[in-house]
Amino acid sequence: MSLPLSGRHVVLLWGGLSAEREVSLSSGKECGAALERLGAKVTYVDAGRDLAQVLSALRPDVCFNALHGEWGEDGCVQGILETLQIPYTHSGVLASALAMDKAKAKAVIAAAGVSVPGGGLFNRHLVAADHVMAPPYVVKPNAEGSSVGVFIVQAGANRPPQELIAPAWTFGEEVMVEPYVRGKELAVAVMDGKAVTVTEILPPTEFYDYEAKYAEGGSVHVLPAEIPLPVMEKAMAMAERAHAALGCRGVTRSDLRYDDINDILVLLEVNTQPGMTPTSLVPEQAALKGVAFDRLVLWITEDAYARGSAGGVASDSEAPGESAR
């Protein structure tokens, strides 16, 4: 019996140049193994500046983009793939670039009627010199993911994070500063425009940092989240609206905060290439709906191939688990 991707040459893009390289390698390992089980001929490409030349020589049927962070997730690699006319997974150039820029993404999402935290962009030296808003607040790079370079400034803190002006800082001159929203950390996967479910993340510390996200046993995921049904429905609707407003396609993951004391729900950001590691949220949510990991990877790949083969027209095929929603 022929496997679903038999005869299909898939280039898996992983590694890359960003601070999220290790996460990408983990995602790529899992997705590549799934693609091989599905019968694809998989070529693993550690994406570097010579990517266009490498892909031109390989001539794949489709690229599975397992890159995370700057360059691989912000529209740059997507632009290379568009130029070479190679079908690729996840969102396109504009949506990828827009979602990675937190300030611009928040403006678009807010205009679509989705509640977001306040705050804005500030020069990192200004932020390090004095409080630009009353604590507690959050400081984070404007164009990074995986909680890289994120700081929480607690109420009563004497000074802002001095790491912002350290020689090792490589995350840009402007940083996002926004009010800290207490409460529950939530995540919603969106597949083919439809929300899957809501996960509550219980990190071992107050903040869902890099270690809590990716270390084995670093956090506890409760799914579906134990929150009131109206809040769950609102979170899913907000994620769908944000996905659509940014022009995303394929799979995304929205991160939200829910202040259960004051009944405040805000959407923090949309991840256009969510992690596909053993501890990642999207595969867990898909599994809850009966979509095994290999089937999820198959759908992501086939969705990209169908869209590319149709000259940019999205596939009409039903997303796995669609009938379960």
Q: Which of 306, 291, 210 is nearest to 250 (CA)?
A: 306
Q: Pairing between strand 220-222 and 174-179?
A: unpaired
Within the chain, how many helices (H) and strands (E) appear? Answer: 10, 12
Evaluated on CA atoms 267, 268, 273, 277, the torsion sign reads negative
Q: State the Cα–Cα distance between residues 282 and 190, nearest whole angstrom.
A: 9
Query: Residue 80: which H helix or E strand, with range?
Result: helix 76-84
Q: Pairing between strand 184-191 and 251-259?
A: antiparallel
- What would the two tokens of residue 255 be? 């991160």
| Residue numbers annotated as active site | 20, 146, 214, 253, 255, 269, 271, 275
CA angle 292, 189, 150 (to 5 degrees): 120
